[in-house]
Amino acid sequence: MKITSFLKQIRPRAYARYQALPLFGSVIADYSAWLRQRSYTTKTIRFCLKGIRHVEGWLRHKGRRKLADLSDRDMRAVHDRFRTESNLGGAARSLGTFLLERGLIAVATPPTPKFSQRELAHFGEHLRAVCGLAGATVVRHQMQIRLFLGFLQADRQPSALRDISVRQIEDYLRLAAKTNTRFSLQQVVASLRTYLRWKHAEGLLRSPLHEQIDSPRCYRLERLPRALPWTQLSALLRSIDRATPMGQRDFTILFLAARYGLRSCELVGLKLEDFNWRAGTIRIQQSKTRQTLLLPLTDEAGDIVARYLRTARPASPRREVFLRQRAPMGPLLPTTVYDILESRVRRSGLPLKTMGTHVLRHSFAVHLLRQGVSTKHIGDALGHRDVESTGVYLRLAVDDLRQVGLPIPAAGRAATLVPFTWAHGLPKIRLGKLPALRSQNFRGPFALSLQRYVAVRRALGRGFTSAERILRHWDDFLAREQRHECAGEAFQQWADELGRLNSTVQRNRLRVVRNFLLFHRRDHPATWVPDQALFPKPQAYRAPRIVSPKEMARILATARRLPALNYNPLRAQIFQVAFVLLFCCGLRRSELLRLRLRHYDRRGKILRVEATKFHKSRLVPLHATVARALERFLARWPAHGQRLDPNGPLISSGRATGTGDGMTGTALRQNWLRLCGSAGVLDRHGRPPHIHDLRHSMAVAALHRAYAQGQDPNALLPHLASYLGHVSPVSTHHYLHLTPELRQAASRRFHAGCAQLFQSGGAA
């Protein structure tokens, strides 16, 4: 069919209007033929021709009257104008490509590059040639430095880069913090350091400013990885209609992502030669580690991929496995995998939230964990180089973690409650309470610098509440003593006022002030800074008092005798559940007091601890006995005037006054001291254990239970670390103490496994 007949067939009435266009009317037929040669569908060609009218209208508004007056710069401007509109943006891009290929528009002489453009080009050459960075990493660094140069207005005043100061860098970071998270701000700081280090090496900057930039505080494993239950993931795959070529392609992509844990860039990077059908293997070029991973090609996966190649893959000379189903034919982008997943989740009708493609990788790892596959083998399948990289998925293995939680200790004998005045005879703890401030604003000689210091620290993602409070009292001291500077004499006088505190608290407060003085010295080199070696030595570590399950049973039985109050009829039950969660789940006191009802999954019997120490979150599956006790406790709330508000505290004070009336740390500690004194759970000095000692006791009891059940303690440690919210078992080692019971259990295990090797007459 001739192109003229084709145009009249698809748009009979509009054909005359297209030919009458002053700019593009003469090329309509050639442009349509060009689109058909590239396998554009009839519907897509209609959209492109319809978009020409809008493109021409915008160009004529800009003063373009003839086709010969256009250049590629004009077509790029058109695309920038309409790129947010999918149909018009695609039409403008394809029209510009056609006009350039046919030579119908001129290639504009590129304008003289600006200072920032030349600077970014030289910086990119340095990153590639000297630093050896990948192309994508170079682009990310250039993008960050482009924003930084724009902040300095370097195109207007190139000398601004030579005269840059630390204060300008801090102002830029405070501005960037408004549009970046702590994690993305870390990339901003990394790019700035790399750029400033390069300029210092070139001699443009006289001082090493890159050494004076503070980093945002980010911790490993802050966020919980998200995974889908395997049944839901299988249901999602079954919901995809494989009767169409696009459905077959989408199913194959998501199947490989779910069954092999492949990343998006690894999926779209698969080539035909990566499948070895005779050997039954699939080769993965890992873009993250730049390593080659060889995985077995299962029969099911091989059949699915072969069916896609035979029936759904468009005919193309390209070697990529997955191609676009619509013109222009070409490989997929990594972001396309997310679009496919989002579209298929929406069409499936399943109750699934919006998620990224990495969820499929997490789901694959958790599925292998529940099948009993070792962490080492899972890491090999995912291409990890370190076992700790695979350990992150242990945090989602709910069934395995549930075996770590302790059951409620067997019933013990209740003791007679001692009066509250019993705790008054205990040695007083030197509390670090700070005196009242005379003013809520900085008013000393360092007021402006202190304001900037606090603002910069908070821009870098730090709470800085306690440190700011210490700095305010130090500033109040300088203002009260009318000190115009911080010399050694003034600093020592302030340190003497802290003499009533223990040495660890003193050292921490002196260190906070010293860190500020180091910050102040960046702009004022004559600032006096104290020597940290002269600070008080930290107080010796106090070994925890391990509470055994029998002792904990006695404490819980005694808690039932706590008398009810008029405003708190569930007083005994509240404290009993609180101490059960502390002992059986190893929670910190702050984690317990911040728990809300929404953090308890009643269906899965799981507590979700959010934003705890080091900003970490974790899942805490409850033992069956603990879950039953918590359910019985919650069932009593409505009968006693308590509301089951999702935002209400899980451990409340007993007052039905709203959602924010939670238990205080003081009330929890006072009742803990009373119960320990009543049950006789004391240390060798006659003092009750700290509440945090229950976390140590939980770790020791879990390890002792593993010995008693004949389990391998080494296999328990990674799960115990995840249960307690630690990055690795190295951190958990602090909580493992060699009690007499553990020593005997370890000796029995060693004797059962190795004693026969040392028997007389054994093999040499």
CATH number, position 559: 1.10.443.10
Domain boundary among 656, 676, 696: 696
Active site residue 616: no
Domain boundary among 58, 78, 102: 102
Q: Give the Cα-Cα-Cα angle 394, 182, 205 (nearest 5 degrees).
A: 130
Each as own residue / partner, the long-range contacts of residues 301-305 (CB below 8 Å, 24 or more positions apart, any chain) are: 301/255, 301/256, 301/259, 301/260, 302/275, 302/277, 304/251, 304/252, 304/255, 305/252, 305/256, 305/275
Q: How confident is the model at residue 657 (pLDDT cuts 50, 70, 90)?
A: very low
Q: Domain tally for the chain?
A: 5
The answer as to whether 714 is a domain residue is no
Q: How confident is the model at residue 490 (pLDDT cuts 50, 70, 90)?
A: confident
Question: What does the pLDDT read at residue 37?
Answer: 82
Task: Answer yes or no: is pLDDT of 124 > 90.
Answer: yes
The answer as to whether 360 is a domain residue is yes
Active site residue 428: no
Amino acid symbol at 313: R
Answer yes or no: do 119 and 94 share one domain. no
User: Which residue among the candidates 13, 61, 178, 288 is catalytic per the annotation?
Assistant: 288
Cα–Cα dist 759/756, whole Å: 5
User: Which residue among the candidates 15, 31, 195, 393 is catalytic per the annotation?
Assistant: 393
Answer yes or no: do 162 and 259 share one domain. no
Question: What does the pLDDT read at residue 452?
Answer: 92
Answer yes or no: do 162 and 293 share one domain. no
**What is the pTM assigned to this prediction?**
0.77
**Which pLDDT tens digit goes with each residue over 430-452?**
555 666 777 778 888 899 999 99
Query: Alpha-carbon dihedral of residues 367, 369, 371, 377, nearest 10 degrees?
Result: 110
Task: Answer yes or no: is pLDDT of 195 > 90.
Answer: yes
Q: How confident is the model at residue 4 (pLDDT cuts 50, 70, 90)?
A: low
Answer yes or no: do 90 and 192 share one domain. no
Asked if 647 and 589 count as a contact pair (C-beta separation under 8 A), the reply is no
The answer as to whether 750 is a domain residue is no
Task: Answer yes or no: is pLDDT of 175 > 70.
Answer: yes
User: Alpha carbon of 245 to those of 90, 166, 316, 335, 366: distances in Å?
Assistant: 23, 58, 15, 20, 31
| Mean confidence (pLDDT) of the chain | 86
Which residue do the tokens 């210490």 mark?
A: 470
Question: What does the pLDDT read at residue 355?
Answer: 84
Buried b vs exposed e over 584-597: b needs ≥16 C-beta within 10 Å? Answer: bbbbbbebbbbbbb
Active site residue 393: yes
The answer as to whether 387 is a domain residue is yes
Which domain, by its residues, includes 60?
3-102
Question: What does the pLDDT read at residue 66?
Answer: 83
Q: For 308-317, 553-562, 699-708, 743-752, which range has the lowest pLDDT when averaged over its residues?
A: 743-752
User: What number is the average pLDDT over the span 255-266?
Assistant: 92
User: What number is the average pLDDT over the span 465-474?
Assistant: 90
Question: What does the pLDDT read at residue 659?
Answer: 43
Asked if 677 and 418 count as a contact pair (C-beta separation under 8 A), the reply is yes
The answer as to whether 327 is a domain residue is yes
Answer yes or no: do 559 and 491 share one domain. no
Question: What does the pLDDT read at residue 129?
Answer: 92
The answer as to whether 575 is a domain residue is yes
Answer yes or no: do 628 and 577 share one domain. yes
Question: What does the pLDDT read at residue 20?
Answer: 75
**Which pLDDT tens digit goes with each residue over 526-583?**
889 999 998 999 888 888 999 999 999 999 999 999 998 888 888 899 999 999 999 9
Answer yes or no: do 528 and 631 share one domain. no
Answer yes or no: do 76 and 208 share one domain. no
Answer yes or no: do 52 and 155 share one domain. no
Task: Answer yes or no: is pLDDT of 347 > 80.
Answer: yes
Answer yes or no: do 148 and 196 share one domain. yes
Asked if 472 and 479 count as a contact pair (C-beta separation under 8 A), the reply is no
Active site residue 141: no
User: Which residue among the candidates 79, 249, 384, 623 is catalytic per the annotation?
Assistant: 384
Domain boundary among 674, 696, 718: 696
Element at 520 (helix H, strand E): helix 503-520
User: Which residue among the candidates 11, 64, 182, 263 is catalytic per the annotation?
Assistant: 263
| CATH number of the domain that residue 130 is part of | 1.10.150
Task: Answer yes or no: is pLDDT of 140 > 90.
Answer: yes
Question: What does the pLDDT read at residue 575?
Answer: 94
DSSP string, 247-288: HHHHHHHHHHHHHH---HHHHHT-BGGGEETTTTEEEEE-TT
User: What number is the average pLDDT over the span 669-695?
Assistant: 92
Answer yes or no: do 558 and 690 share one domain. yes
The answer as to whether 236 is a domain residue is yes
The answer as to whether 661 is a domain residue is yes
User: Which residue among the candidates 358, 443, 687, 749 is catalytic per the annotation?
Assistant: 358
Answer yes or no: do 562 and 676 share one domain. yes
